[in-house]
Amino acid sequence: MSDDTVKIFDTTLRDGEQSPGCSMTTAEKMKVAKELVKLGVDIIEAGFPIASPGDFEAVRKIANEFGSQTTICGLARCRKDDIDRAWEALKDAEKSRIHVFLATSSIHREHKLKMNKEQIVETAVEMVKRARDYCPDIEFSPEDAARTEKDFLCEVVEKAIDAGATTVNIPDTVGYATPAHFHDVITTLKKNVPNIDRAVISTHCHNDLGLAVANSLAAVEAGARQIECTINGLGERAGNCALEEVVMALKTRADYYGVHTNINTKRLYPISHLVSTVTGMTVQRNKAIVGKNAFAHEAGIHQHGILQERTTYEIMHPDDVGYVGSNLVLGKHSGRHAFRDRIQSLGHTLDDETFERIFKEFIVLADKKKEIYDSDIVALIENQVTDA
Ligand code: KIV
Ligand code: ZN
């Protein structure tokens, strides 16, 4: 893969599923995995095999069914049993990856793991080697990397690469980083880890401060070439970096970033809808890229602009994300241009006088209703015809 390709690592089925109330059955996971393959993600993190028999089964089935089309990944703590179980689930896939993680920040070392720095390094090295004995594609994550002392982070990453890690993932586990800070973390690794070019640098940003996408983009700018993300930004607490947002940011601003992904962006809207249906987690209307209002224009000035030349108020084409439906929403802010356009698309031609009368009635109605449907417009037209 060339240096201008950013790999998309989807973790909807693992970190996304950790979102409270979003657990999925194996059958539902299979459906989502099938769509992720069509979407063109490079890696699917299908689950955490040691977590439960259901998780193990889902990873195994996804690996067997889709492991020849894309890389299937299973998560493991730095524990022998976790790694063995992950491999057991993945072993029949043509393309598989074991993802091992161990926290490195002082807060986690002292309060959660009760391990000192030497023990962390020793454990990470031993477990990466164990995983590498099974599989050539190994990802290592120093959990809570964004709050880890930089010199220690560099040391752990260097040793993990020496032990066989082929991807080093830098998690902002608690969404603490800001774009400048995260850029600096990646730059520091690139400068100070002598063997860093032997591994792909990856990002894994949580959204506690609403910065997961911005931080992932900052990391790409600093040299990261894999982004971990989820459909609709699903995930623990405020979620993970939203796949659809980060992918469209890289595509729309390719002039700035100079990189591309393998994502078929036309499948973004359909998969967002599927994940929302399967998890029951509704997508907010004004959510970027896949929200119902993401391409909707109500203001008359905007609608007029769009009807003249789309790019006046649109930086992306709705077709490019697979959005279907009208993007000119009729409401009290709409003008005559959009109203006439909608009447024509509904198959009606009106003389100027009738049009003006109906337009006035439409504005009065729009003041009373949040949304005007095509059926409301047809009713206004039919009333005119009946009254005449
Ligand atoms: O947020 C996190 O640190 C994780 C790791 C397991 C990569 O999800
Ligand atoms: Zn995470």
Please state the pTM of the whole predicted model: 0.92
The pLDDT score that the predictor gives to residue 359 is 94
What distances in angstroms separate CA 18 from CA 41, 242, 305, 308, 333, one per listed residue? 20, 15, 43, 46, 41
List, as ranges, residues with CB under 5 A of the ion ligand 2.
15
Number of C-beta neighbours around residue 152 at 10 A = 17
Interval 125-153: pLDDT, tens: 999 999 999 999 999 999 999 999 999 99
- 139 vs 198: CA distance, rounded Å: 12
Q: How far, in Å, is the centroid of ligand 2 from the Cα of 257?
A: 25
pLDDT at 336 over 70: yes
Q: How far, in Å, is the centroid of ligand 1 from the Cα of 188?
A: 20
Number of C-beta neighbours around residue 259 at 10 A = 17
Annotated binding site: 15, 204, 206, 240
Annotated binding site for Mn(2+): 15, 204, 206, 240
Residues with CB under 6 A from ligand 1: 15, 101, 141, 143, 169, 171, 173, 204, 206
Interval 213-257: pLDDT, tens: 999 999 999 999 999 999 999 999 999 999 999 999 999 999 999
How large is the ipTM? 0.99
Helices 150-163 & 117-134, crossing angle to 10 degrees? 30
* Coil/strand/helix, residue 228: strand
Identify which of 158, 153, 163 has the alpha carbon closest to the alpha carbon of residue 128. Answer: 163
Q: How far, in Å, is the centroid of ligand 2 from the Cα of 239?
A: 8
Nearest atom in ligand 1 to the alpha carbon of residue 103 is 3
pLDDT at 388 over 50: no
Say which amino acid occupies 363: I
Kindly report the protein residue whose alpha carbon is nearest to atom 5 of ligand 1: 143
Strands (E), 11-156: 43-47, 71-77, 96-103, 138-143
Evaluate whether 313 touches 306 at the Cβ level (below 8 Å). Answer: yes
Mean pLDDT of the chain: 95
Interval 183-198: pLDDT, tens: 999 999 999 999 999 9
- 388 vs 384: CA distance, rounded Å: 6
